[in-house]
Amino acid sequence: MKSNPRQNQVKDFTGLESEYLESIEGRRSLVGYLCMRTPVELIEAYGAVPIRIVSSPVAVSSGFNPIRNDACSFCKQVPELMKLDSYKYLSGIIAGSCCDQMRRTVDVLNETLDIPAIIYSAPRTYGQNASFFLNEMKAAFAKLADSLRLTIDENELHKAIKSRKQLRKLVNQKRYDGAISAPLIHKLAGSCLPAEKIIEFLTGLKPLPVNSDSVRLMLFGSIPSGKEILLIEEVGGYVAVDLTCLGDRVFEIKQNLPEEPFEFLYKHYIEHNNCPHRRSYAPLIDYAKQQIKRGAIDGIVYRSVKYCHPFGLAAKRFKEELGMPFLELDDDLTLQATGSFRTRLGAFVEMLEAQKRRKVAQV
Amino acid sequence: MISQKIRKLDNFELEENPRQIDFREWHRLFQKVPEELVENTRYFRDLPNAEWSQYLFPPSTHVVSGNRLLRKLKFDNSLASLRLWGFVMSEGERIYRAKQAGKKVIAVMGDLGAVTPLVYSFPNTVAFYPDCLWWTPFMMESKVLFDEAAKFGLGEDCCFVRAALGAYSKKAYFPKPDLCIGTVGATCDDMNAVMSEVEFLGYDIHYFELPHRHDKPQDVKRLKVFLSGQYEGLSAKLEHVTGHEFDLTRFEETISKVNRMRGAISDLKGMLGGAGSPLDSCVRRNDGRGSRRIDRRNAMGGIEMLNVEFAPLSYYGDLDECIDVIEDVRDTVKSRQTRSVGYPDQDIRLVWVTPPADPQLMNYIEGLGGMIVGSEYLINQTTPQILENGDPFDSLAESHLSGSLMGSMGYRTQLVIDQIEKSNAEGVIISGVFGSSHCPYETTPIVDAVRKKGIPVLAIDVVAPGKIMMQSQIFNRMEAFMESLKAARRYRGG
């Protein structure tokens, strides 16, 4: 059977992660975190390993769930995820408050798990009183550390920040060169590995073969489940830009940030976080427009998780503002949705291919 | 000069005994209301020669202007209730009049009553809540506002507050606000989405950031300092919009009035929810003349009380008049309880959780024998007395910190439990909204906590107007619930 270099990338990286987790087993605390408003460098500086809580097709609703069916499908899945092997060894959970549902999800975890689940305030608007929110973030981490008997190592913090900066730069460069596939970027975004190890892995990556006839798509929307990229590639599309919560947005390089470590982390993860739960949408729309230009995008696949208000209720607005062919998918994170997604993605890609052919013919 | 007797209805009653009547009966009964009373029941009494500001009309008047649901509702038969309905239903007209009269009209969104005292501390300023337009599609039995919101992508996955977006877009439900204030942060996502689209419609929004409350005593101080800063920023914005400087004396006067209103509402809730016994609809009270039986039958309708409890959100556009309206209702209830009279056959004590956008549901439960003796309508922030002599912004911040939604689910659950304990309720009804950002998370913990207290709960989702089949299922569940409560009472009674 012919080997697929894109799949091999993911396989190799997953292997590396497993090895790492085995090597630290029982020696370091695993701290789960949700969303993009949590500075992983800070978790690392406390000597813990950051584990991003992400959607999984394996988590199937089993028995009682305190969250009702009309909640965001991802938030509703989180208590179920906690029963999986990947998360059942977590010592604690931390998250910066983003949308109302995520805030309440952490509250549910706090009530249902016997590990601390801590949420800290983060502003919805831009340019807010930074010192208040920075202190909220620090206090939350201190509280978690206190529960887990961890202490911060300032040198590790500096080192982690420096390494993550290098990682962001490298990821952007390799993405631009076509050496990192979209499925791999999801893995990188949620990886528990220290930045140095990821850098080491990425350094050797060579540009992947790309079919130049493929339509170039931007995946946008709520936290992905992993299946959407595979489906897009299956129907002949190529995800050139990924603006989901586990995509290129995680590696965005933000300019003019302060040097002081905590201020840097606050500005990077909290103040300059572009998510539609923030008011207003303008910075996210501007960023999306830049990425569309950079990635020479032909169309947008906008996938929102069912009942995810920030992305779901903004879909029409983004469609209008971005002014491109736009396929909107509403995912309830069930396997049953896969078939209809495949059909709709197939039709969308075919339409874009036909459009592309027409353009070439006109030229 | 309007006499105090007319400003206050002075317990003038059209019928001796309380009962619930429909809009036709009100139409007939209205003929008995003295002309002088109709002429002098006015809003904006500060404006000279405002002949147009009468508002004491029967509900049928408001049916004509599109509020078709009024034809189906049951109203309390007191003059105080008529005045309340007239005042509430004329709010839309009032804010248009305010604009015409040169007052500043401020749209306040997302905080449900917390920032309003500051808005009214500025002269010639009125506030209104676009969020409250969520009941307009129900009152009008029309999906026009929902359909309009859907054009912007806010469909059935969004709470009924999306009607506010429809109204902003239609430009026919309120005048263009001089300022829009939007509270974001630890609030609902649905209203946040509405605000985003309102911005795209060209409205400038002053955002008020509400941080998450951890519900730990040690967090209060820093949250208060932060919120105080938010109030200071809002005050500066209001100074700019109104052209008036913040005036401490006027602020203290306003807070004193707000506290008076909040006090009257608290009295009312206390009277209606006073610790009665579920086994006996009468309690004994010692009033110095010896112990005597007090009838605990329902002395005021659930919808009227909903209108009363929502008054501190916007004061329905006129703070002074609103206080009188509320105090009239309070005096009516007091008089009824003193006379031991109430609606016949309504004595199953219920706590209502989350305000129902469809007021019919309350009528229906009352028709089945329920009386609403307690409530948690997501507006706990409008209940505390605000400190009158402290730092103004600190005082507002402190009051704001009691908000229903800004903290943990445990906090809100406790608010519900408090209401049950205060009112000795026999059952709880939770009327949620399918797809809203908080109901899917709060419902189960509240249901669990209430059941642990041994109190039966009915959790329903309010059905959008026009979905008759689904609504009949809700009615059916209500019937079964009330049957079970009656059976439980019979069982407990031996």
DSSP conformation letters of A323-340: -S-EEEEEE-S-TTHHHH
Question: Best of B441, B447, B461 to disrupt the A interface by mutation (most A CBs within 10 Å)?
Answer: B441
Question: Best of B158, B187, B192, B213 to disrupt the A interface by mutation (most A CBs within 10 Å)?
Answer: B192
pLDDT tier at B215 (50, 70, 90 boundaries)?
confident
Copy the structure tokens of residue B329: 């209702």
Report chain B residues whose CB lies below 8 A from the CB of A312: 157
A254-273 confidence digits (pLDDT tens)? 999 999 999 999 999 999 99
B339 has a pLDDT exceeding 80: yes
Identify whether the C-beta of residue B313 lies closer than 8 Å to the C-beta of residue B382.
Answer: yes
CA atoms of A262 and A131, how far apart (whole Å): 10
- Tell me the three state secondary structure of residue A96: strand
Compute the nearest-CA separation of A47 from chain B (Å).
Answer: 26
CA atoms of B310 and B337, how far apart (whole Å): 23
- Cβ–Cβ of A123/B185 closer than 8 Å? yes
Please measure the distance between the N-terminal and C-terminal CA atoms of chain A and give it in whole angstroms.
40
Q: What average pLDDT does this structure show over B194-210?
A: 96
Q: What average pLDDT does this structure show over B143-169?
A: 97
- Tell me the three state secondary structure of residue A241: strand
Q: What average pLDDT does this structure show over B30-46?
A: 92
pLDDT more than 70, % of chain A: 97
Boundaries of CATH 3.40.50.11890 in chain A?
Answer: 5-154
CB of B243 within 8 Å of any CB in chain A? no
Single-letter residue type at B6: I
Q: Which of residues 259-288 of A touch B (CB under 8 A)?
A: 276-277, 279-281
Q: Given B196, B212, B440, which is nearest A67 (Cβ)?
A: B440
CB of A314 within 8 Å of any CB in chain B? yes
CB of B111 within 8 Å of any CB in chain A? no
- Cβ–Cβ of B188/A315 closer than 8 Å? no
- Cα dist from A40 to A33, A47, A193, A226, B382, whole Å: 8, 11, 11, 22, 39
- Cα dist from B290 to A310, B284, B286, B295, B428, whole Å: 61, 10, 5, 16, 34
Q: Given B209, B436, B439, which is nearest A125 (Cβ)?
A: B209
Place of tokens 């005042």: B87
CB of B187 within 8 Å of any CB in chain A? yes
B198 has a pLDDT exceeding 80: yes
Where is average pLDDT lowest: B126-135, B214-223, B419-428?
Answer: B214-223
Estimate to the nearest angstrom the gap between the alpha carbon of B337 and the chain centroid: 22
CB of B148 within 8 Å of any CB in chain A? no
Q: Given A105, A107, A277, which is nearest B189 (Cβ)?
A: A277
B12 has a pLDDT exceeding 70: no
Report chain A residues whose CB lies below 8 A from the CB of B437: 99-101, 104, 309
Q: What average pLDDT does this structure show over A108-128?
A: 94
pLDDT of residue A360: 85
CA atoms of A217 and A194, how far apart (whole Å): 30
- Cβ–Cβ of B189/A76 closer than 8 Å? no
Question: Is the peptide bond prior to A340 cis by the omega test (within 30 degrees of 0)?
Answer: no
Identify whether the C-beta of residue B111 lies closer than 8 Å to the C-beta of residue B402.
Answer: no
B396 has a pLDDT exceeding 70: yes
Look at chain B and count its residues.
494
CB-defined contacts A:B, below 8 A: 128
- Cβ–Cβ of B153/A317 closer than 8 Å? yes
Please measure the distance between the N-terminal and C-terminal CA atoms of chain B and give it in whole angstroms.
60
Strand positions, DSSP E, A83-139: 92-96, 117-120
pLDDT of residue A226: 84
Place of tokens 């401490």: B248
CA atoms of B459 and B451, how far apart (whole Å): 12
pLDDT of residue B294: 45
CA atoms of B64 and A4, how far apart (whole Å): 70
Report chain A residues whose CB lies below 8 A from the CB of B436: 70
- Cβ–Cβ of B190/A124 closer than 8 Å? no
- Top-level class of domain A211-362: alpha beta
Identify whether the C-beta of residue A291 lies closer than 8 Å to the C-beta of residue A251.
Answer: no
- Which is higher by pLDDT, A165 or A213? A165
- Cβ–Cβ of A317/B434 closer than 8 Å? no
Where is average pLDDT lowest: A351-355, B213-217, B312-316?
Answer: B213-217
Identify whether the C-beta of residue B80 lies closer than 8 Å to the C-beta of residue B305.
Answer: no
CB of A103 within 8 Å of any CB in chain B? yes
Estimate to the nearest angstrom the gap between the alpha carbon of B300 and the chain centroid: 14
ipTM score assigned to the predicted complex = 0.94
Q: Which residues of A60-94 are buried (b: 16+ CB within 10 A; e: fewer)?
A: eeeeebbbbebbbbbbbbbbbbbeeebbeebbbbb
CA atoms of B492 and B480, how far apart (whole Å): 18
Copy the structure tokens of residue B9: 């209805």
pLDDT more than 90, % of chain B: 85
Question: Best of A64, A309, A319, A330 to disrupt the B interface by mutation (most B CBs within 10 Å)?
Answer: A309
Question: Best of A64, A70, A109, A119 to disrupt the B interface by mutation (most B CBs within 10 Å)?
Answer: A70
- Cβ–Cβ of B153/A67 closer than 8 Å? no
Q: What average pLDDT does this structure show over B169-192?
A: 96
Average pLDDT, chain B: 92
Closest chain A residue to B197, measured at CA: A317
Average pLDDT, chain A: 93
Identify whether the C-beta of residue A188 lies closer than 8 Å to the C-beta of residue A200.
Answer: no
- Cβ–Cβ of A135/B222 closer than 8 Å? yes
Q: What average pLDDT does this structure show over B274-280?
A: 50
Estimate to the nearest angstrom the gap between the alpha carbon of A262 and the chain centroid: 22
Compute the nearest-CA separation of B151 from chain A (Å).
Answer: 9
Q: Which of residues 188-207 of A touch B (CB under 8 A)?
A: none
How are the residues of chain A apportioned to helix, strand and coil, as percentages rounded to the nearest 5? 50, 15, 35
- Cβ–Cβ of B153/A315 closer than 8 Å? yes
Compute the nearest-CA separation of B463 from chain A (Å).
Answer: 14
A173-223 confidence digits (pLDDT tens)? 999 899 999 999 999 999 999 999 999 999 989 999 878 889 999 999 999
Architecture of domain A5-154: 3-Layer(aba) Sandwich (3.40)
B280 has a pLDDT exceeding 60: no
pLDDT tier at A117 (50, 70, 90 boundaries)?
very high
Q: What average pLDDT does this structure show over A24-49?
A: 96
pLDDT more than 70, % of chain B: 93
Report chain A residues whose CB lies below 8 A from the CB of B434: 70
Boundaries of CATH 3.40.50.11900 in chain A?
Answer: 211-362
A232 has a pLDDT exceeding 90: yes
- Cβ–Cβ of B185/A76 closer than 8 Å? no
Q: Could you tell me the sign of the dihedral formed by the alpha carbons of A308, A311, A314, A319, in that order?
A: negative
CB of A129 within 8 Å of any CB in chain B? yes
Quick count: other Cβ atoms within 10 Å of Cβ B279? Answer: 11
- Cβ–Cβ of A317/B152 closer than 8 Å? yes
Question: Best of A37, A65, A100 to disrupt the B interface by mutation (most B CBs within 10 Å)?
Answer: A100
pLDDT of residue B285: 45
3-state secondary structure chain B: CCCHHHHCCCCCCCCCCCCEECHHHHHHHHHHCCHHHHHHCECCCCCCCCHHHECCCCHHHHHHCCCHHHHCCCEECCHHHHHHHHHHHCHHHHHHHHHHCCCEEEEEECCCCCCHHHHCCCCCEEEECHHHHHHHHHHHCCCHHHHHHHCCCCCCCCCCCHHHHHHHHHCCCCCCCCEEEEEEECCCHHHHHHHHHHHHCCCCEEEEEECCCCCCHHHHHHHHHHHHHHHHHHHHHHHHHHCCCCCHHHHHHHHHHHHHHHHHHHHHHHHHHCCCECCECEEEEECCCCEEEEECCCCCCHHHHHHHHCHHHHHHHCHHHHHHHHHHHHHHHHHHHHCCCCCCCCCEEEEEECCCCCCHHHHHHHHCCEEEEEEECCCHHHCCCCCCCCCHHHHHHHHHCCCCCCCCHHHHHHHHHHHHHHHCCCEEEEEECCCCCCHHHHHHHHHHHHHHCCCCEEEEECCCCCCHHHHHHHHHHHHHHHHHHHHHHHHHCC
CA atoms of A54 and A246, how far apart (whole Å): 9
B118 has a pLDDT exceeding 90: yes
Q: Which phi and psi (to 5°) does residue B134 adopt?
A: -60, -25
Q: What average pLDDT does this structure show over B26-33?
A: 92
Q: What is the DSSP letter of A197?
A: H
pLDDT of residue A361: 87
CB of B201 within 8 Å of any CB in chain A? no
Compute the nearest-CA separation of A321 from chain B (Å).
Answer: 10
Q: Which of residues 156-175 of A touch B (CB under 8 A)?
A: none
pLDDT tier at B2 (50, 70, 90 boundaries)?
very low
pLDDT tier at B74 (50, 70, 90 boundaries)?
very high
- Cβ–Cβ of B185/A121 closer than 8 Å? yes
B363 has a pLDDT exceeding 70: yes
Report chain B residues whose CB lies below 8 A from the CB of A119: 212
Which among B286, B283, B423, B267 is positioned nearest to B340, based on CA atoms?
A: B283
A275 has a pLDDT exceeding 80: yes
CB of B192 within 8 Å of any CB in chain A? yes
Closest chain A residue to B229, measured at CA: A129
B284 has a pLDDT exceeding 70: no
Identify whether the C-beta of residue A307 lies closer than 8 Å to the C-beta of residue A71.
Answer: yes
CB of A69 within 8 Å of any CB in chain B? yes
Q: What is the DSSP letter of A208?
A: P
CA dihedral A348, A352, A354, A359 (to 10 degrees): 170
Closest chain B residue to A309, measured at CA: B189
Which among B327, B366, B329 is positioned nearest to B345, based on CA atoms?
A: B366
Q: Which phi and psi (to 5°) does residue A50 adopt?
A: -80, 125
- Cβ–Cβ of A104/B438 closer than 8 Å? yes
* Sheet hosting strand B125-128, strand order edge to edge: B125-128, B104-109, B179-185, B205-210
CA atoms of A59 and A53, how far apart (whole Å): 12
CA atoms of B465 and B462, how far apart (whole Å): 9
> Strands B348-353 and B427-432: what pairing?
parallel
Compute the nearest-CA separation of B146 from chain A (Å).
Answer: 14
CB of B190 within 8 Å of any CB in chain A? yes
Q: Which phi and psi (to 5°) does residue B155 adopt?
A: -105, -145
- Cβ–Cβ of B441/A125 closer than 8 Å? no
Identify whether the C-beta of residue B277 lies closer than 8 Å to the C-beta of residue B78.
Answer: no
B277 has a pLDDT exceeding 50: no
pLDDT tier at A99 (50, 70, 90 boundaries)?
very high
pLDDT of residue B435: 86
B478 has a pLDDT exceeding 50: yes
